[in-house]
A and B are shown apart, each in its own frame.
Chain A
């Protein structure tokens, strides 16, 4: 059993949707379904701050149901759905539709609302109206808010709502036309690049805006940071005491832009895969607390879209079923630290800590995952639960597997199989 405060050997007794007892040698009442967790970690369910569930609009790539199943198999009990759907989630009605679809899913579906109307970066979306529905995170993800004045206003206005603004950090003018990391590989492969500085410019600006609006209690969350420069900027902002948090995606600590030499668009993602020095910096940032969360940026795309020429294919990779084993296997961190990055820390950023992210303790909602840290498995795209197949890890052997997932007491995954 793993919590922020440490680990110990224990049984966990769940009745209905709640943990009723945690302790060694608990007697199970008659009729209790006993899930074996020998040799496993019993942890709070994971929380993803960043998933594209594609519904409404791109149901051939993913639905809330299929995305939630992938999430449950990956150990997640809560996922924040990004608003870049079609239509975008920029009104209470649009948010409500997704929340309604999520009520029957195998994962708690939360929504990030758009900061601006139509994600166009021109006028504020009805933030309070969406916040009234429980939205705690807002972002124009897929695009950053380019207008510094508008972003300042958004931070000021939203500070009264107790919500967090999350930014896709990319200066679009500097990034324009790019399809991969700018550098040695883009130059050799003849693919237009996106310089690391396109990310860093917006990180710098948003840190400045966080400082400018700090007196109001504004909160900025920087999404999927991929460059060494951005990690250093966040580290300095944290040292300064600013209310800035940041997330990293698994592909940014496991893959480099060298993978693009295959010209397989499965390796196209935004922000792009970067150089080894960036990968090393992201790992260091995860180890030293600069990052608060690992977020998947799960981005399904239909196979035909990922067979377009590299410069025409949409960016994005699947992530929900591979994040945990990659984090356990690649970061060299203790399980408690990895689970902090995947569970209780993102739960706090998403405002979900009342129900998700543990602790595994009496009286808490039974949102749990049971992880076999020694189990190995090979990623087979056809066997993933997503409707899409665009994992960059096809054929890769991973160590660490989710054995069971409980959502409010319901076993939704048992022995690594989704029950519904």
Chain B
């Protein structure tokens, strides 16, 4: 595995498989009475979240703590960023304090790449703009695999705002790399302008896709899409692309429902559908910690720096 984890492509198929296998053992650790191992004792991991986040930030922090790493939390609101400090100055300052890894989230695509060019420590992309969210893809692949055994040959529908989704830009490639057939289901305005080279098929008819899929993966729908002339209204979106209770009835018995969170209940997913037994949404969150433990272990588990 690479020094950094910036994109799914960085991992490659071998890297994906390696994380999957390793995650099994960290799921086991997480199930213990005292879910903690000394693996990364003495290592320091800093979270640099330039964009608000609950689950990803806490998930990385929990993962680091279960590996006995020290964690530092950087929050934009109470930092020198408010005084106009550049990202470069901030990350080089933090690096000078002696950290081993930076977990970076930013609302602009590419910032983790820029950070990686300025520091020597490991950089983990925790979500950059619309671009990628590789640990989300890893936890989703792990979650599907834990229920289905494999992704090979599975039919996965990714439904919703693909255009603005870093989750989609990571998951599509991870799912495809592991052998799944991916269908994007969205109104044309919420698809990227070009799908040249994407390993996907496209549909605008969720009712037609649902009976044939093994996994339906719903993306978060944001209210501001209405104001950008991408949609007439959320109501119309829900009517055509929302996983309503009635639509959930079209799913086969063993189909799975997933969502990266946070959910807009009543928009992309009906409240009661999220609670169905086929919904893996809380399972995804639980696996997220174990997957991130695996990632931290792979990046930092070898001998300490220097």
Chain A interface mostly: loop
Among A183, A195, A309, A311, which residue has the most Cβ atoms of chain B within 10 A?
A309
Q: Which residues of A contact B169 (CB under 8 A)?
A: 188, 190
Q: Which residue of B lies closest to A311 (CB)?
A: B108
Q: Which residues of A contact B109 (CB under 8 A)?
A: 189-191, 263, 309-311
Q: Which of A190, A195, A308 contacts B131 (CB 8 A)?
A: A190
User: In this assembly, does A187 line the interface, its C-beta being within 8 Å of a C-beta of chain B?
Assistant: yes
Q: Which of A195, A308, A309, A310 contacts B193 (CB 8 A)?
A: A195
Residues B114 and A183 in contact, CB atoms below 8 Å apart: no
Q: Which of A182, A184, A191, A263 contacts B114 (CB 8 A)?
A: A263
- B residues 231-289 near A (Cβ < 8 Å) are none
Chain B interface size band reads 20 to 34
Q: With A and B bound together, what is the CA distance between A182 and B109 in angstroms?
A: 15
A277 → B minimal CB distance (Å): 13
Residues A186 and B87 in contact, CB atoms below 8 Å apart: no
Q: Which of B108, B117, B132, B194 contacts A309 (CB 8 A)?
A: B108
- B residues 128-145 near A (Cβ < 8 Å) are 128-132
Q: With A and B bound together, what is the CA distance between A136 and B166 in angstroms?
A: 49
Q: Which residues of A contact B113 (CB under 8 A)?
A: 262-263
Q: Which residue of B lies closest to A183 (CB)?
A: B194
Q: Which residue of A lies closest to B117 (CB)?
A: A264
User: In this assembly, does B38 line the interface, its C-beta being within 8 Å of a C-beta of chain A?
Assistant: no
Q: With A and B bound together, what is the CA distance between A264 and B117 in angstroms?
A: 10
Given contacts A190-B129, A190-B130, contact A309 B110 (CB under 8 A): yes
- B residues 94-143 near A (Cβ < 8 Å) are 106, 108-111, 113-114, 117, 128-132
User: In this assembly, does B196 line the interface, its C-beta being within 8 Å of a C-beta of chain A?
Assistant: yes
Q: With A and B bound together, what is the CA distance between A188 and B109 in angstroms?
A: 11
- B residues 145-195 near A (Cβ < 8 Å) are 166, 169, 192-195
Q: With A and B bound together, what is the CA distance between A182 and B111 in angstroms?
A: 20
Given contacts A190-B132, A312-B108, contact A307 B114 (CB under 8 A): yes
User: In this assembly, does B197 line the interface, its C-beta being within 8 Å of a C-beta of chain A?
Assistant: yes
The 8 A CB mask of A178-206 against B (1 = contact, 0 = none) is 00001110111111110100000000000
Q: Which residue of B lies closest to A195 (CB)?
A: B193
B226 → A minimal CB distance (Å): 16
Given contacts A190-B109, A263-B110, contact A309 B87 (CB under 8 A): yes
User: In this assembly, does B54 line the interface, its C-beta being within 8 Å of a C-beta of chain A?
Assistant: no
Q: Which residue of A lies closest to B164 (CB)?
A: A190
Residues B110 and A310 in contact, CB atoms below 8 Å apart: yes
Q: Which residue of B lies closest to A310 (CB)?
A: B110
Q: With A and B bound together, what is the CA distance between A183 and B195 in angstroms?
A: 9
A143 → B minimal CB distance (Å): 22
Q: Which residues of B contact A188 (CB under 8 A)?
A: 169, 192, 197-198
B41 → A minimal CB distance (Å): 34
B176 → A minimal CB distance (Å): 13
Q: Which residues of B contact A240 (CB under 8 A)?
A: none
Residues B114 and A193 in contact, CB atoms below 8 Å apart: no
User: In this assembly, does B227 line the interface, its C-beta being within 8 Å of a C-beta of chain A?
Assistant: no
Q: With A and B bound together, what is the CA distance between A195 and B128 in angstroms?
A: 23
Q: Which residues of B contact A147 (CB under 8 A)?
A: none
Residues A309 and B111 in contact, CB atoms below 8 Å apart: yes
Q: With A and B bound together, what is the CA distance between A184 and B197 in angstroms?
A: 8
Q: With A and B bound together, what is the CA distance between A189 and B196 in angstroms?
A: 12
User: In this assembly, does A304 line the interface, its C-beta being within 8 Å of a C-beta of chain B?
Assistant: yes
Residues A183 and B193 in contact, CB atoms below 8 Å apart: yes
Q: Which of B88, B129, B192 contacts A311 (CB 8 A)?
A: B129
Residues B106 and A309 in contact, CB atoms below 8 Å apart: yes
Residues B114 and A189 in contact, CB atoms below 8 Å apart: no
Q: Which residues of A contact B197 (CB under 8 A)?
A: 184, 188
Q: With A and B bound together, what is the CA distance between A389 and B111 in angstroms?
A: 20
Q: With A and B bound together, what is the CA distance between A309 and B128 in angstroms?
A: 10
Q: Which residues of B contact A310 (CB under 8 A)?
A: 108-110
Q: With A and B bound together, what is the CA distance between A309 and B197 in angstroms?
A: 26
Q: Which residue of A lies closest to B192 (CB)?
A: A187
User: In this assembly, does B78 line the interface, its C-beta being within 8 Å of a C-beta of chain A?
Assistant: no
Q: Which of B106, B110, B194 contacts A191 (CB 8 A)?
A: B110
User: In this assembly, does B2 line the interface, its C-beta being within 8 Å of a C-beta of chain A?
Assistant: no
Q: Which residues of A contact B195 (CB under 8 A)?
A: 187
A413 → B minimal CB distance (Å): 34
Q: Which residues of A contact B196 (CB under 8 A)?
A: 183-184, 187
A177 → B minimal CB distance (Å): 9
Residues A187 and B193 in contact, CB atoms below 8 Å apart: yes
B33 → A minimal CB distance (Å): 42
Given contacts A304-B86, A307-B86, contact A186 B193 (CB under 8 A): yes
A204 → B minimal CB distance (Å): 21
Q: Which residues of B contact A264 (CB under 8 A)?
A: 114, 117
B81 → A minimal CB distance (Å): 12
Q: Which residue of A lies closest to B197 (CB)?
A: A184
A85 → B minimal CB distance (Å): 24
A306 → B minimal CB distance (Å): 10
Q: With A and B bound together, what is the CA distance between A310 and B192 in angstroms?
A: 18
A259 → B minimal CB distance (Å): 13
Q: List 6 A-B contacts (CB under 8 A).
A: A184-B194, A187-B192, A187-B193, A190-B132, A191-B130, A192-B130
A190-B109, A310-B110, A311-B129 known; 19 new pairs, CB 8 Å cut-off, are A182-B193, A183-B193, A184-B194, A184-B197, A188-B192, A188-B198, A189-B109, A189-B110, A189-B131, A190-B129, A191-B109, A263-B110, A263-B111, A263-B114, A307-B86, A307-B88, A307-B114, A309-B106, A310-B109
Which 7 residue pairs spanning A and B have beta carbons closest together?
A263-B110, A309-B108, A190-B131, A190-B130, A187-B192, A184-B196, A190-B109
